[in-house]
């Protein structure tokens, strides 16, 4: 029983990174129809930038939670303006290939600059301890990551469903022509939404910085698992991305505990089952596949 | 024809359209191609020549699926790498001549492609790319964990080159190239034959208009799976040859970067041109080799940039562009 609680918290913490990044992926796909292969690289950049800010400016974890997503937002905007924009009107596969090439460049640039061994990062004092629940000791940091990302996911969801901006974004996603006819400048929202999606990947990176080894390759497997997450949740479904993100985190944690050899294979088995039963994903609409 | 193509399939369709004209030049081209293939180990370092040939076949296998069925597989490393391991294991443990080992490897790749294809063709477009990618990575994790058989991170070492009793020792990659080349050419011929068969025409029809092909009574899903399996078999042939040529199989062959590299080669050569892959393979393999030998760290910076430029500005690829120019020139005279 104690073990189960431990693995659950561990899984939810791991799932937090997937949920946040997959949310960014889903938002970008919703508005631009682009699957961003460089999302894993952006997650890695988030962590690397946090480490560099700490190393060079002494900027700690808490300010990094705000500063790094802002930096990544600007980076995302540049990316959209300079590259992605030119291919949006074409087959979405072209942007998939473009961002694939881009992620090769980003990963090897970081590798060339900072080597293959990890960058150091110190965990903030307040998060290093453990919380005792009954007779189970749970790492504070895992609880914090889960709570924080859950709050962010809920905020994004509120932003999308309850605000005027969210309404416009959703309308542009579902009926771009009609939205345009109603006098909304759809194109104006494309760039900030892309930047926002990248910022979410960056935020996942900041959260991972004190938790995982910060290397150029940290996003390489991450992005593949992320694809499995959005396939399970349903591409373009915001709720699906978050739920599947946490689900995959749990599968990973329990897999590592009870079948360590095949922990990562289990995720793809789950994906295969979902494809068999519901090809459009758990929360996907039929038309979105 | 001159308007900018918007989808991958329209690029492929344009390339096919040009190809369908029977040109008297095709015999000349065939002769030049064969001559280039035969003289390759005189021009470049022989092991590199074998690499180019293997990657060329791999790219042609992918183009069979991408250019002629309209499916972008981002998981073909599963078949290339899966066959690399099986070929290696057979060559080590059974001691059969290497073409037989490669045949077993290719059959394994086809067998593997049945379930993956069956599940993946339920989706299309970008979904298909992501699903195949994920399944390939599953195999990667599997091989990484199953150390007793695959050697884990060390890879599979010491794969022999038994050629019907003649030992083609490692010091003689020059002769090995000529032993391996017929397999590559046979694979390329098979791809060409598939495309020009009635089966190939159905694939093209499915690519251009799946709904109409389905209305005409073709089982679209089944045809897609069959194309997927055939493509996997050719990719497996190439991968098996690659592992025999190198004498080892590493996890790298199964990694998604390998899937990405073959897509780059195919797109650079020209989607839907079939033979473009040979040029793409020669360029990419030689570029990577040159970067590696000149001590440049971060090959991905260069190959990634090439990829970005090709996708942004050069979507027809080299073969496609040349054909385009030729067609324009001909319509003027």
Q: Name the pLDDT band for B169 (thresholds 50, 70, 90).
A: low
Alpha carbons B156 and B171: distance in angstroms, whole number:
20
Q: Are B179 and B163 in contact (CB under 8 A)?
A: yes
Chain A positions touching B305 (Cβ under 8 A) are: 101, 105
CA dihedral defined by B297, B300, B301, B304, rounded to 10 degrees? 170
The model's confidence at residue B2, banded by pLDDT at 50, 70 and 90, is very low
Helix/strand/coil for B164 = coil
Q: Is residue A126 part of a domain?
A: no
Note whether A111 contacts B72, CB cutoff 8 Å. Answer: no
Interchain pair B122, A279: CB under 8 A: yes
In chain B, what percentage of residues exceed pLDDT 90? 55
CA end-to-end distance (rounded Å), chain A: 40
Residue B3 has pLDDT above 50, yes or no: no
Q: Which two tokens stand for residue A72?
A: 């990544």
Residue B115 has φ and ψ, to the nearest 5°, of -65, -40
Could you say which residues from 73 to 102 on chain A have a Cβ atom under 8 Å away from some Cβ of chain B? 83, 86-87, 89-94, 96-98, 100-102
Is A108 in contact with B304 (Cβ distance < 8 A)? yes
* Contacting residues of B for A107, CB less than 8 Å apart: 300
For the stretch B40-66, pLDDT in tens is 888 888 889 999 999 999 999 999 999
B141 closest CB neighbour out of A89, A265, A289: A265
Residue A191 lies in a domain: yes
Tell me if A264 and B141 make a contact (CB, 8 A cut-off). Answer: yes
Partner-chain contact B72 A235, CB within 8 Å: no
Place of tokens 């709050």: A151
Tens of pLDDT, residue by residue over B119-131, are 999 888 888 998 9
Cross-chain Cβ contact A86/B312 below 8 Å: yes
Give the pLDDT of residue A154: 93
d(CA B173, nearest CA chain A) in Å: 31
Mean predicted lDDT score pLDDT of chain B: 88
In the structure, what pLDDT confidence band is assigned to residue B5 with cuts at 50, 70 and 90?
A: low
Element (H, E) at B254: none
Task: Tell me if B7 and A91 make a contact (CB, 8 A cut-off).
Answer: yes
Q: Does A288 touch chain B (CB under 8 A)?
A: no
Separation between Cα atoms, residue A174 and residue A270, nearest integer Å: 29
- Please write the tens of the pLDDT for every residue from A88-102: 888 888 999 999 999
Structural domain range at position A64: 2-118+132-223
Chain B contacts in chain A segment 204-233 (CB below 8 A): 220-221, 224, 227-228, 230-231
Number of separate domains in chain A: 1
Please tell me the total number of residues recorded for chain B in this structure.
333
pLDDT, residue A288, reads 42
Among residues B14, B15, B121, the alpha carbon closest in space to that of B75 is found at B121
Cα B152–Cα B153–Cα B156 angle in degrees, nearest 5? 65
What is the per-residue pLDDT for B168? 58
| Sign of the CA dihedral running A244, A248, A250, A254 | positive
Quick one: average pLDDT of B149-170? 74
Tell me whether residue A288 is in a domain.
no
Asked if the structure places residue A173 within a domain, the reply is yes
Does residue B153 register a pLDDT over 50? yes
Sign of CA dihedral B258, B260, B264, B267: positive
The gap from C-alpha A33 to its chain's centroid, in whole angstroms, comes to 17
The answer to whether A49 contacts chain B (CB < 8 Å) is no
Q: Compute the distance between CA of residue A101 and CA of residue A175 in angstroms, rounded to an integer.
A: 31
Please report the DSSP string for chain A in residue order. Answer: -HHHHHHHHHHHHHHHHHHHHHHHHHHHHHHH----TTHHHHHHHHHHHHHHHHHHH---HHHHHHHHHHHHHHHHHHHHHHTGGGGTTS-HHHHHHHHHHHHHHHHHHHHHHH-SSPBP-PPPGGGSSEEEETTEEEEHHHHHHHHHHHHHHHHHHHHHHHSHHHHHHHHHHH-HHHHHHTT--HHHHHHHHHHHHHHHHHHHHHHHTTTS-B-TTHHHHHHHHHHHHHHHH-TT-HHHHHHHHHHHHHHHHHHHHH-GGGHHHHHHHHHHHHHHH-TT-SS--GGG-
CA distance A229 to B129: 14
Let me know if residue A233 belongs to a domain: no
Residues of chain A neighbouring B303 (CB-CB closer than 8 A): 101, 104
CB pairs under 8 A between A and B: 131
- Section B302-326 average pLDDT: 89
Structure tokens at B104: 């077993």
Residues of chain A with pLDDT under 70: 1, 285-289
- Facing residue for A107 by CB, picked from B123, B264, B300: B300
A110 touching B (Cβ < 8 Å): no
Question: Is A266 inside a domain boundary?
Answer: no
The model's confidence at residue B88, banded by pLDDT at 50, 70 and 90, is: very high
| Distance between A102 CA and the closest CA of chain B, angstroms | 6
Model confidence at B166: pLDDT above 80: no
- CA-nearest residue of chain B to A87? B312
Give contacts of B263 with chain A, Cβ < 8 Å. 97, 100
Do the chains contact at A101 and B298, CB–CB below 8 Å? no
Q: Please tell me the predicted confidence (pLDDT) of residue B265.
A: 95
Would you state the pLDDT for residue A289?
A: 37
pLDDT interval class at B19 (50, 70, 90): low
Q: Which of A123, A139, A110, A102 is nearest to A46 (CA)?
A: A110
Nearest-by-CA chain B residue for A227: B130
Q: Which tens digit of pLDDT belongs to each residue from A26-73?
A: 989 888 888 999 999 999 999 999 999 998 998 888 999 999 999 999
Whose structure tokens read 């391991």? B85
Q: Which residue of B has its CA nearest to A267?
A: B138
Is the model's pTM score more than 0.80? Answer: yes
- For residue B249, give the 3-state DSSP assignment: strand
Choosing among A38, A100, A255, which should be mutated to test the B contact, i.e. which has the most B CBs within 10 A? A100
ipTM: 0.87
Is the Cβ pair A104, B300 closer than 8 Å? yes
Q: What angle do CA B269, B271, B275 make, to 5 degrees?
A: 55
What crossing angle do the helices spanning B276-293 and B46-66 adopt, rounded to 10°?
140
| CB < 8 Å to A269, chain B | 138
User: Is A258 near chain B, with CB under 8 Å?
Assistant: no
Residue A93 domain-assigned (yes or no): yes
| Contact of B76 with B134, CB cutoff 8 Å | no
Please name the member of B72, B130, B299 whose beta carbon is closest to the beta carbon of A227: B130
User: Which residues in chain A have their CB less than 8 angstroms from residue B260's CB?
Assistant: 100, 104
Q: What are phi and psi of A143, to 5 degrees?
A: -65, -40
> How does pLDDT run across B201-251, given as a tens digit for each residue?
999 999 988 889 999 999 999 999 999 999 999 999 999 999 999 988 999
Cβ contact (<8 Å) for B307 and A87? no
Contact B127 A231 (CB under 8 A): yes
pLDDT at B262 over 90: yes
- Asked if the structure places residue A123 within a domain, the reply is no
Set of chain B residues whose Cβ sits within 8 Å of the Cβ of A230:
130
Contact A265 B142 (CB under 8 A): yes
Tens digits of per-residue pLDDT, B181-198? Answer: 999 999 999 999 999 999
């Amino acid at each position: 029983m104690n073990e189960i609680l431990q693995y659950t918290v561990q899984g939810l913490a791991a799932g937090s990174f997937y949920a946040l990044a997959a949310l960014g992926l889903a938002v970008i796909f919703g508005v631009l129809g682009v699957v961003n292969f460089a999302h894993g690289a952006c997650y890695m950049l988030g962590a690397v930038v946090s480490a560099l800010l700490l190393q060079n400016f002494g900027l700690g974890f808490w300010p990094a939670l705000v500063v790094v997503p802002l930096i990544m937002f600007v980076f995302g905007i540049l990316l959209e303006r300079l590259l992605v924009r030119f291919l949006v009107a074409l087959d979405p596969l072209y942007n998939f290939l473009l961002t694939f090439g881009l992620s090769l460049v980003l990963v090897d640039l970081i590798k060339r600059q900072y080597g293959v061994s990890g960058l150091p990062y110190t965990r903030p004092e307040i998060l290093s301890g453990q919380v005792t629940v009954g007779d189970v000791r749970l790492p504070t940091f895992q609880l914090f990551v889960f709570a924080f990302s859950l709050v962010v996911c809920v905020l994004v969801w509120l932003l999308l469903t309850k605000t005027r901006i969210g309404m416009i974004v959703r309308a542009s996603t579902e009926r771009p022509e009609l939205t345009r006819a109603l006098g909304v400048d759809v194109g104006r929202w494309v760039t900030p939404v892309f930047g926002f999606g990248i910022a979410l990947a960056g935020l996942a990176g900041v959260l991972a910085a004190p938790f995982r080894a910060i290397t150029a390759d940290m996003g390489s497997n991450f992005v593949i698992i992320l694809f499995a997450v959005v396939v399970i949740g349903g591409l373009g479904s915001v709720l699906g991305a978050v739920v599947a993100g946490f689900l995959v985190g749990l599968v990973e944690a329990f897999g590592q505990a009870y079948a360590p050899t095949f922990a990562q294979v289990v995720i793809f088995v789950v994906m295969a089952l979902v494809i068999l039963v519901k090809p459009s994903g758990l929360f996907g609409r039929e038309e979105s596949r | 024809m001159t308007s900018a193509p918007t989808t991958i399939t329209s690029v492929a369709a344009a390339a096919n359209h040009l190809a369908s004209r029977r040109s008297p030049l095709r015999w000349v081209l065939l002769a030049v191609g064969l001559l280039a293939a035969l003289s390759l180990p005189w021009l470049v370092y022989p092991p590199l020549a074998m690499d180019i040939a293997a990657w060329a076949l791999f790219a042609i296998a992918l183009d069979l699926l991408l250019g002629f069925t309209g499916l972008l597989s981002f998981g073909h490393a599963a078949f290339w790498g899966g066959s690399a391991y099986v070929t290696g294991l057979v060559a080590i443990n059974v001691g059969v001549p290497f073409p037989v080992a490669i045949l077993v490897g290719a059959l394994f790749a086809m067998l593997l492609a049945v379930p993956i294809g069956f599940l993946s063709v339920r989706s299309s477009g970008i979904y298909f790319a992501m699903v195949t990618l994920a399944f390939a990575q599953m195999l990667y994790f599997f091989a990484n964990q199953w150390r007793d058989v695959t050697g884990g991170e060390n890879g599979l070492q010491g794969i022999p080159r038994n050629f019907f009793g003649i030992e083609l020792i490692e010091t003689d990659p020059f002769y090995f190239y000529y032993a391996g080349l017929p397999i590559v050419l046979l694979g390329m011929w098979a791809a060409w034959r598939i495309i020009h068969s009635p089966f190939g025409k159905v694939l093209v029809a499915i690519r251009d208009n799946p709904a109409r092909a389905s209305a005409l009574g073709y089982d679209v899903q089944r045809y897609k799976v069959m194309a997927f399996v055939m493509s996997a078999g050719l990719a497996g042939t190439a991968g098996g040859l690659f592992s025999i040529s190198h004498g080892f199989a590493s996890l790298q062959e199964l990694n998604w970067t390998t899937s990405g590299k073959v897509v780059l080669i195919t797109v650079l050569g020209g989607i839907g041109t079939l033979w473009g892959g040979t040029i793409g393979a020669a360029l990419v393999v030689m570029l990577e080799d040159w970067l590696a030998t000149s001590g440049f760290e971060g090959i991905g910076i260069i190959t990634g940039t090439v990829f970005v430029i090709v996708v942004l500005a050069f979507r027809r690829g080299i073969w496609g562009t040349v054909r385009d120019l030729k067609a324009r020139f001909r319509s003027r005279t």
